[in-house]
Amino acid sequence: MIDPVLASRLQFALTTIVHIIFPVMSMGLAPFLIYFTWKDIRSDDPVYEQLRRFWTKIFAVSFVVGTVTGIVLEFEFGTNFAAFSTAAGELFGGPLAIEGMMAFMLEATFLGVFVFGRERVGDALYFVSSIAVGLGTWLSAVWILIANSWMQTPRGFEVVQEGGQRVIHLTDPLAAYANPRFPWMFVHMQNAAVESVALFMAGVGAYYVFRHHIWDYTVVEIGFWEKTMKIGIAALLITAPLQVLHGDAYGRHVAETQPQKFAAMEAVWETDSYVPEYIVAFPTDLQDLTDPRAKELFGLGIPGGASWLASGGDPQAEIRGLNTFETEAPPVALVFWSFRAMVGMGFWFLLLAFWGGYRWWRGQLLEDDLLHKALMGSSLLGILAVQLGWVVTEVGRQPWVIQGVMKTSDGVSPGLTGAEATLTLAGFALVYTLLLVLYTYVIARIVREGPPGNDELETPTPELGPEEPPTVGAGDD
């Protein structure tokens, strides 16, 4: 059986990795749906009604599955991390409760009006419902990220002994909930969600445009898919540069507030200056595979790049090494490679945005089959980049569950056995895999059916069969 601490960590990681897909889809779709609704009401172009109805289906499915998988996460604080809940419940429970009462209720209430009310309420109320749904989605992220960011940079509390246990009391709500990490996490997360949906839109639209213009397939409503691809590229032109610029500043903030995490991101063991930013780095000794920058490594890096990132422009800046911290280092290889994959994809999305924008400006957007293939292949990479970002955030913080205050091993439920933790881990792995497969099937079916009003997305060219013999009637010779 797996150690209960490791099994609990794996279970929470698994359920979070699956769950985060659905909030990303709903948060990313929210501003698009508000825009589609506004254009549907104010313009005579029927494509905006199709866009609103089509993407509302995907939003609604994502919302339902996200709600189911998100509730489980909150239960896990009681089943697997009861010691953490006992110690930090006063501070951590507040944002989660407000998220349920404020954001979820707002979103769930107006979602009914938004999904079923177009012919039942006036234009003004219907548009308000789209804003309320989007606002609820984003407010949900506000409270979740307030709770998580406090775990990264805790403020406004004191630790006291109650009944032989260390308990965290809230002393300054403003300092705790407006902690320095929150604005960085919120902007980065919300922009990543919109960017991910923009990539998905551009990829799905490019698929049908490619089939129609390049392969000469008959595609019903090709105007709908062209519009979808263009809207995705337009959103990508806004979000991709912002994500790169913000990510650079965010990295500097991490270096200032969580130097151990930053050292793990760069795999810096000894304090040094003029530290290179390794693009790839492999140890030459197989025994050091968990250390991307072990001695005698093979690597390719930018001289002084990591120091420049940590300081905001000084390639000679010093970076504190992992060996100087009293606590053990986080899993360095996982953090190191996740960070590089996420950053690499961020620059790829930037290239895609400018590539698509340039072709659009030159009037060649519909003929560039290589761009269409690139968009198709990248349609899910935005969500993968979000996953890797959370790996850097959460694994890089280890061994702390609350940075500098409580270790993850101290937050696990004291009576939890390895057998219990392993059994629930296996159960969640099975159920969440089935949920993910079912969600993928439903979304693929919605995409295949195309915009509402079409019974078939494609009209296949009828095949010529053998000519039937003429019918011979009773009176014929």
The pLDDT of residue 165 = 84
- Residue 50: what pLDDT? 93
pLDDT at 281: 78
- DSSP codes joined into one string, 326-344: SSPPP-HHHHHHHHHHHHH
* Contact indicator for 19, 27 with CB cutoff of 8 Å: no
Q: Is the dihedral of CA 41, 45, 50, 55 positive or negative?
A: negative
Q: Tell me which of 151-165, 184-198, 233-247 is least confident.
A: 151-165
pLDDT at site 294: 61
Q: Do the beta carbons of residue 26 and residue 57 sit within 8 Å?
A: no
**Where are the extended beta strands (E) located within 143-253?**
157-162, 165-170
| 453 — pLDDT class (breaks 50, 70, 90) | low
Per-residue pLDDT at 300: 81
Residue 463 above 60 pLDDT? no
What pLDDT, on a 0 to 100 scale, did the predictor assign at position 322? 92
- Least confident range from 81-90, 310-319, 467-476: namely 467-476
Residues 6+ apart with CB under 8 A from 199: 232, 236, 349, 352, 375, 378, 379, 380, 381, 382
Does pLDDT of 470 surpass 50?
Answer: no
Mean pLDDT, range 328-342, rounded to an integer: 92
Q: What is the pLDDT of residues 380-431, one digit of tens each?
A: 999 999 999 999 999 999 999 999 999 999 999 988 898 999 999 999 999 9
| Mean pLDDT, the chain, integer | 89
Indicate the length of the chain as a whole number: 477
233-267 confidence digits (pLDDT tens):
999 999 999 999 999 999 999 999 999 999 999 98
Q: Cβ(153)–Cβ(180) under 8 Å? A: yes
Tell me which of 193 and 467 has the higher pLDDT.
193
Q: Which 3 state secondary structure label does DSSP give 284? A: coil
What percentage of the chain exceeds 70 in pLDDT?
Answer: 92
Q: Is the dihedral of CA 428, 382, 233, 242 positive or negative?
A: positive
Q: What is the pLDDT of residue 286?
A: 67
pLDDT digits (tens, 9 = 90+) for 35-78: 999 999 998 888 999 999 999 999 999 999 998 898 888 888 88
183-212 as b/e: b if 16+ CB within 10 A: ebbbbbbbbbbbbbbbbbbbbbbbbbbbbb
- Of the chain, the percentage scoring pLDDT greater than 90 comes to 70
pLDDT at 41: 94
Which has the minimum average pLDDT: 416-420, 431-435, 456-460? 456-460
Kindly tell me if the per-residue pLDDT of 436 is higher than 70: yes
